[in-house]
């Protein structure tokens, strides 16, 4: 596949104008049936026809690159194609009810949520699940608060959370935000948790160890049972970051490994759209002992009827109503459509695809074999340059420069959605770039709508709304 | 790659430098630190009159790669802040030992400087 991205600019070489700039006539306010003191003379709302609006957003999408455009192997982020049928399910009007409706009048909605709690609980090996947290990181924060409430309830003041160096940045942030001191755990030589380092880090102050398994290098933590025993012997709890759950679906369950709390990234594992700042969902599962601390309310089923209840020692609410309904509906639809065999098949293909691609690329891949993702090294090349150049070959680049355990990391996760033809296209892109010189890399990207972005300038000169443009 | 480590000043293991001038100490970050951080986009510093404590965080530096705490090399009251960095954080990259300075601290205990690394010791650490 050859690639040239659409590029819409005006005569001054500026990209597709903002809606506010396309605004052709001020909204007509003369006929507003309101008293004078409630109206104003001008209202800076863009006044455009529907085709103008549709073209604006279509042009922007043409200058973007998404998983609907081509492969998107962003490691540790499980960029799955979002099946369009889930949009149809989410659009069913009967589901769009006011969140404060009485439980007896929304039995269908509650049944769906109850079943999703049940599905997720069984997938993760957890006894109780809350659907309320509105994103993966919010799920982490919720899980950490549950752990804190549990220890405090037991009169056990614990101030530290242990996080592996290679963990997602959100783990450190969630722990710190909940008021804990973060103890950073150095990785072992084989890319896994070093048990001696863990032993040294554990103490009577340890509230929680946060892990993802397979870890950020795509390696399974083989010593997970021993790790679990060590943490529990120290009186701590074990937290599972669900970022890499796609590798395990239907094959292994965090609950069976000894994890006490986990969050699910439904946008990663269950193919709902990535929030991108919009509504998401990060359900949290816990073992029985922690269920009384979950956010309120929870959905329960009694004598064939669905109802809401507040867990006894609930940490309170972490989001409005029962969570982001439309996202949860899509996750439910995906799980129901695939069923047990489908989910298990998805993880098998995700692992197969990652391992196949790892063998097809010329960059050094220092660890392995892998689960659902692998980390290659760009060697003497700058991983950020490699990423920019890969765009010119019509593929999205992998995650770069992270985890830092591999120099100039190219962290790659093709997921189960790609077939062999597309994996080979991805490998060709990697290998073409691997053989290019510094000049070609520095000039990239050349075929995209926007060329090299001035990241530093963007961070130094923040413009957080279109109104800021007027200040220039 | 070798980094500048001027020997007119002392260093923290955490990469801040301290340059004594009479009873004040000027503070910034090292050439190595600015290189590791990459392009600096934001610096958060205390106000004049606040107290800082040796070994404890006095501010925050943010680059396109990372956000890090800044650690005070000595204890004392802040007597001056390089406000130019708020609009031009790139000075930290361009001239870490000069225009990229961050604070001046009134020195309360001169012996505190003895606990810091000499330039050659720090140079060994970042070699």
How many beta-carbon pairs below 8 A join chains A and B? 17
| Residues A299, A447 within the same domain | no
Q: Is residue A71 part of a domain?
A: no
Evaluate whether A8 touches A63 at the Cβ level (below 8 Å): yes
Structure tokens given for A27:
């909204």
In a domain, A309, yes or no: yes
C-alpha distance from A386 to closest chain B C-alpha (Å): 17
Same domain, A357 and A219: no
Whether B7 has a pLDDT exceeding 70, the answer reads yes
Q: Quick check: helix, strand or coil at residue A143?
A: helix
Cβ contact, residue pair B90, A459, below 8 Å: no
Domain boundary among A279, A303, A337: A337
Largest CA distance in chain A: 76
Cβ count near A182 (within 10 Å): 17
Nearest to A455 among B62, B64, B89 (CB): B64
H-only helix segments in A316-471: 325-360, 383-391, 420-434, 438-443, 455-460
Strands across the sheet containing B76-81: B10-11, B16-21, B24-29, B103-107, B76-81, B51-52
Q: Name the minimum distance, in Å, from the CA of B59 to any CA of chain A.
A: 17
State the pLDDT confidence band at B23, using cuts at 50, 70 and 90: very high
Are residues A358 and A276 part of one domain? no
**Predicted local distance difference test score (pLDDT) of residue A38:** 82
A394, A323: one domain: no
Residues of A within 8 A of B65 (CB-CB) are 401
Q: Judge whether A128 lies within some domain.
A: yes
Interatomic CA distance for residues A361 and A178, integer angstroms: 42
CB atoms within 10 A of CB A277: 7
Where does a domain end: A297, A315, A337?
A337
Q: Distance, in angstroms, between B118 CA and closest chain A CA?
A: 28
Instruction: Tell whether A360 is covered by a domain.
Output: yes
Range of the domain at A324: 85-337
- Please check whether residue B57 touches A, CB under 8 A: no
A219, A277: one domain: yes
- Structural domain contains residue A390: yes
Closest CA to A240 of A339, A379, A123: A123
Side-chain half-sphere CA neighbours of A43 within 13 A: 10
Residue A379 buriedness (CB in 10 A; 0-12 / 13-18 / 19+): middle
* pLDDT digit string, tens, across residues B68-109: 999 999 999 999 999 999 999 999 999 999 999 999 999 988
Same domain, A255 and A303: yes
In order of their start, the domains of chain B are 10-112 (2.40.50.100)
Decide if the complex's ipTM is over 0.85.
no
The residue of chain A nearest to residue B39, with distances taken between CA atoms, is: A456
Using the 8-state DSSP alphabet, how is residue A94 labeled? Answer: G
* Residue A465 forms part of a structural domain: no
The CATH number linked to A289 is: 3.40.640.10
CA distances from A86 to A70, A80, A159, A331, A335 (A): 20, 13, 42, 8, 10
Per-residue tokens: A294:
């979950």
Instruction: Tell me, yes or no, whether A3 lies in a domain.
Output: no
Positions in chain A short of pLDDT 50: none
Total number of domains constituting chain A: 2
Whole-model pTM over 0.80: yes
Q: Answer yes or no: do A121 and A221 share one domain.
A: yes
* Other Cβ atoms within 10 Å of B102 Cβ, number: 25
In a domain, A93, yes or no: yes
- CB neighbour list of residue B92: distance below 8 Å, 6 or more residues apart: B28, B29, B34, B40, B43, B61, B85, B100, B102
Please check whether residues A329 and A434 belong to one and the same domain. no
């Amino acid at each position: 596949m050859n690639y040239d991205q659409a590029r819409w600019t005006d005569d001054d070489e500026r990209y597709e104008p903002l809606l506010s700039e396309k605004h052709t006539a001020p909204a007509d306010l003369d006929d507003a049936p309101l008293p004078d003191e409630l109206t104003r003379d001008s209202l800076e709302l863009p006044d455009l026809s529907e085709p103008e609006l549709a073209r604006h957003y279509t042009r922007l999408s043409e200058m973007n690159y998404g998983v609907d455009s081509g492969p998107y192997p962003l490691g540790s982020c499980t960029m799955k194609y979002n099946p369009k049928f889930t949009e149809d399910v989410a659009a069913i009007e009967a589901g769009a009810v006011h969140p404060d409706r009485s439980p007896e009048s929304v039995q269908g909605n509650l049944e769906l949520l109850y079943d999703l709690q049940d599905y997720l609980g069984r997938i993760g090996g957890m006894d109780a699940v809350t659907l309320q947290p509105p994103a993966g990181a919010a799920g982490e924060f919720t899980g950490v608060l549950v752990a804190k409430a549990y220890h405090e309830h037991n009169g056990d003041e614990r101030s530290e959370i242990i996080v592996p160096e290679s963990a997602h940045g959100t783990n450190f942030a969630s722990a710190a935000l909940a008021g804990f001191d973060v103890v950073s755990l150095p990785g072992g030589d084989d890319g896994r948790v070093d048990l001696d380092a863990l032993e040294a880090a554990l103490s009577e102050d340890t509230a929680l160890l946060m892990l993802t398994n397979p870890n950020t290098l795509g390696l399974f933590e083989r010593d997970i049972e021993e790790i679990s025993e060590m943490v529990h012997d120290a009186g701590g709890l074990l937290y599972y970051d669900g970022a890499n759950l796609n590798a395990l679906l239907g094959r292994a369950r965090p609950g069976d490994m000894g994890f006490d709390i986990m969050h699910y990234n439904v946008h990663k594992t269950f193919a709902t759209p990535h929030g991108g700042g919009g509504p998401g969902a990060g359900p949290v599962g816990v073992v029985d002992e922690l269920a009384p601390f979950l956010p309120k309310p929870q959905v329960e089923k009694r004598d064939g009827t669905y109802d809401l209840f507040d867990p006894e020692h609930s940490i309170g609410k972490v989001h409005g109503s029962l969570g982001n309904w439309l996202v949860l509906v899509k996750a439910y639809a995906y799980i129901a459509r695939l069923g047990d065999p489908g989910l298990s098949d998805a993880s098998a293909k995700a692992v197969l695809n990652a391992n196949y691609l790892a063998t097809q690329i010329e960059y050094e891949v220092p660890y392995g074999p892998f689960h659902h993702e692998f980390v290659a090294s760009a060697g003497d090349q700058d991983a950020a340059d490699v990423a920019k150049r890969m765009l010119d070959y019509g593929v999205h680049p992998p995650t770069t420069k992270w985890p830092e355990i591999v120099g100039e990391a190219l962290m790659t996760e093709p997921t189960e959605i790609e077939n062999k033809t597309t994996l080979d296209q991805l490998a060709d892109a990697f290998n073409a770039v691997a053989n290019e010189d510094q000049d070609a890399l520095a000039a990239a990207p050349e075929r995209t709508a926007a060329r090299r972005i001035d990241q530093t300038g963007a961070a130094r000169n923040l413009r957080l709304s279109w109104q800021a443009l007027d200040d220039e | 790659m070798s980094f500048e480590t001027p020997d007119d000043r002392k260093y923290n293991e955490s990469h801040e430098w301290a340059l004594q001038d009479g009873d004040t100490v000027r503070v910034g970050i090292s050439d190595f630190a600015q290189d590791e951080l990459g392009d600096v986009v934001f610096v958060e510093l205390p106000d004049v009159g606040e107290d800082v404590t040796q070994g404890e965080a006095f501010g925050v530096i943010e680059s396109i790669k990372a956000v890090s705490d800044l650690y005070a090399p000595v204890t004392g009251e802040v007597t001056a802040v390089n406000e130019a960095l708020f609009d031009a954080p790139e000075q930290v990259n361009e001239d870490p030992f000069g225009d990229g300075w961050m604070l001046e601290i009134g020195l309360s205990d001169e012996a505190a400087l003895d606990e810091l690394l000499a330039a050659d010791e720090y140079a060994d650490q970042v070699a």
